[in-house]
Amino acid sequence: MDWLYIDMPIAGFPIFWPGLIVLGFGVGLIGGFFGMGGGWMVTPGLNILGFPMAFAIGTDITHMAGKSLISTLRHGRFGNVDYRLGLIMVFGTVGGFEAGAQLVMWLERIGKVDFYVRHGYLVLLALIAWLVFTDIVRKRRKDREAIAAGRQVDSLSTGIEWHKRLHKLRIPPIVHFKQAGIRCSAWLPIGVSFITGLLAGVLGIGGGLIRMPALIYLIGCPTHVAVGTDLFEVAISGLYGAGSYSYKGRTELLAALVMLVGASVGAQIGTVATKYVRGYGIRIFFGIAVVGCAVSIVFKLFADAFPSARSLLDLSATVLILGLVTSLSLYILIRFIQGARQELAMKRQSESAHAVR
Amino acid sequence: MTHWQWIRTLAIAVLFAPALWAAGGGGAETIVLVADSRRYAGWKAWWMNLYNESHLYFAIFTIVVVPTVGLILGKATDWLMARTGINLKSRILAEH
């Protein structure tokens, strides 16, 4: 069974390549659907396949750049990417990311980095989960009230409407983002991306997990446009991260390229699946992913607090993450198959009706 | 919050950024990794030598190769997906 293993030229050990393709496929699927890089899923996966942590992060970021590019191109054709918004946000993201990285170095010097990063991550994920589910509950309440009052349900209404207040800030220049359907001060996306970039830099993640909800709740993007625009951001920041980690000599490029083979198929399916799922459907499952991620961090924190149970708790965190990735992948695949079948059946029906006429 | 308060907050954030940068201080000594190219020949040996000789060239190589491969694979899977007959140019669902 030697053919199932490929030598990693830089890291210098053999890796089970079908594992890399399956991992790439799963992350491509989830990333294309939710609009995130998926570093929180890939790093433990690569670790299980035998990658040392330093190589796992660099390899993950490198493959993320290619995968997000594929998803962005596909989302772009659906009209889900606001390139102008994405480009403006790049400035804030890069500035924030660098400031965050410097903050981490300062925390390292005072010896508090692990404590602040882990707890900060947890608080942030709890806040995002609260935001997502509060939004869903409020939206449902609005819909119920509309039905009870005999009004038509507004498909464009949202539960949390913080963006409406933020749009009232009229600090010039005022910019119109056509694809997102927003008109606001350019400082709003710059400020928001600076903060999300700062948090991503401190937490050592790509930022999709934070930026996707920020695009929805603070900037006011429709869910599909938030997914596409965030992927555009991830592609750019991923490329920056790929260059940075490669320069530090911590990227196993061959592994990233093998992962890209699986990710390219997964990203296409994940992106096309968004055609068949309503915005709030995506938000619900995004919330579930955030909760899963938070629970896995709780396990890690407990592992630090109770060293005797460390191996069990670490294993539980990994099983949870991989279980979550498998469940979400299955959900997206099923929605894709159902939606595609329905669309093709309708297409055939209309073609045969046309032929009869 | 008035406009001026927002401008002030943004200005403080911008002014604070160099302080954050300075707070980081000098970088720590990094561990230098060397790929063992003696066991290999051909493209693998070239690849490892590129890594060993200059991380800068390796980084440039990475940021050229990754989007190129992504683009090729993206086009290939796009072509395959188009064979299924699914409409890949528009999305009917349009809501928040």
Tell me if residue A111 falls in helix, strand or coil: coil
Tell me if residue B37 falls in helix, strand or coil: helix
- Do the bridges between strand A182-185 and strand A14-16 make them parallel or antiparallel, or are there none, so unpaired? unpaired
**Residue type (1 letter), B38:** R
The tally of domains found in chain A comes to 1
Residues of A in contact with B51 (CB under 8 A): 9-10, 249
* A156-181: pLDDT as tens digits: 778 888 889 999 888 888 999 998 99
Predicted local confidence at residue B17, as pLDDT = 52
Q: Which of A252, A181, A173, A301 is nearest to A14 (CA)?
A: A252
pLDDT confidence tier of residue B25, bands split at 50, 70 and 90: very low
- Do the bridges between strand A5-7 and strand A14-16 make them parallel or antiparallel, or are there none, so unpaired? antiparallel
Q: Which helix (H) or strand (E) holds A319?
A: helix A310-356
Measured between CA atoms, how close is B16 to chain A, in angstroms? 9
B91 in A contact zone (CB under 8 Å)? yes
Residues in chain A predicted with pLDDT less than 50, given as ranges, are none
Written as one string, the DSSP assignment of A125-175 is HHHHHHHHHHHHHHHHHHHHHHHHTTPPP-TT--S--HHHHHTT--PSPEE
Tell me the two tokens of residue A223: 């869910």
For an interface test with B, give the residue of A91, A188, A268, A350 to mutate (most B CBs within 10 A): A268
Which residues 225-264 of A are in CB contact (within 8 Å) with B?
Answer: 239, 242-244, 246-251, 253-254, 256-257, 260-261, 264
The DSSP call for residue B39 is G
B11 in A contact zone (CB under 8 Å)? no
User: Could you tell me how many CB contacts below 8 A there are between chain A and chain B?
Assistant: 186
Is residue A240 included in any domain, yes or no? yes
- Answer whether residue B22 shows pLDDT above 50: no
Predicted local confidence at residue B27, as pLDDT = 47
By percentage, how much of chain B surpasses pLDDT 70? Answer: 60
Predicted local confidence at residue A256, as pLDDT = 93
Residues of B in contact with A91 (CB under 8 A): none
Measured between CA atoms, how close is B78 to chain A, in angstroms? 7
Predicted local confidence at residue B92, as pLDDT = 62
Residue of B nearest to A71 (CA): B74
- Answer whether residue B26 shows pLDDT above 60: no
**Cα–Cα dist A90/A194, whole Å:** 9
Predicted local confidence at residue A208, as pLDDT = 81
Predicted local confidence at residue A280, as pLDDT = 83
Measured between CA atoms, how close is A91 to chain B, in angstroms? 13
Is residue A340 included in any domain, yes or no? yes
Angle, nearest 10°, between helix axes A17-34 and A253-273? 40
Tell me the two tokens of residue A55: 């190589």
- Answer whether residue B11 shows pLDDT above 70: no
Is residue A354 included in any domain, yes or no? no
The DSSP call for residue A177 is E
**Cα–Cα dist A269/A329, whole Å:** 10
Domain region containing A71: 2-347
For an interface test with A, give the residue of B73, B78, B87, B90 to mutate (most A CBs within 10 A): B73
- Answer whether residue B18 shows pLDDT above 70: no
Q: What backbone torsions phi and psi does residue B91 show, to the nearest 5 degrees? A: -120, 125
B91:A79 CB<8 A: yes
Q: Which of A329, A233, A234 is nearest to A273 (CA)?
A: A329
Is residue A139 included in any domain, yes or no? yes
B42 in A contact zone (CB under 8 Å)? no
Is residue A353 included in any domain, yes or no? no
Is residue A151 included in any domain, yes or no? yes
B40:A9 CB<8 A: yes
Q: What are the residue boundaries of the structural domains of chain B, listed by start? A: 3-83
Which residues 60-119 of A are in CB contact (within 8 Å) with B?
Answer: 62-63, 65-67, 69-70, 73-74, 77-80, 95, 98-99, 101-103, 105-106, 109
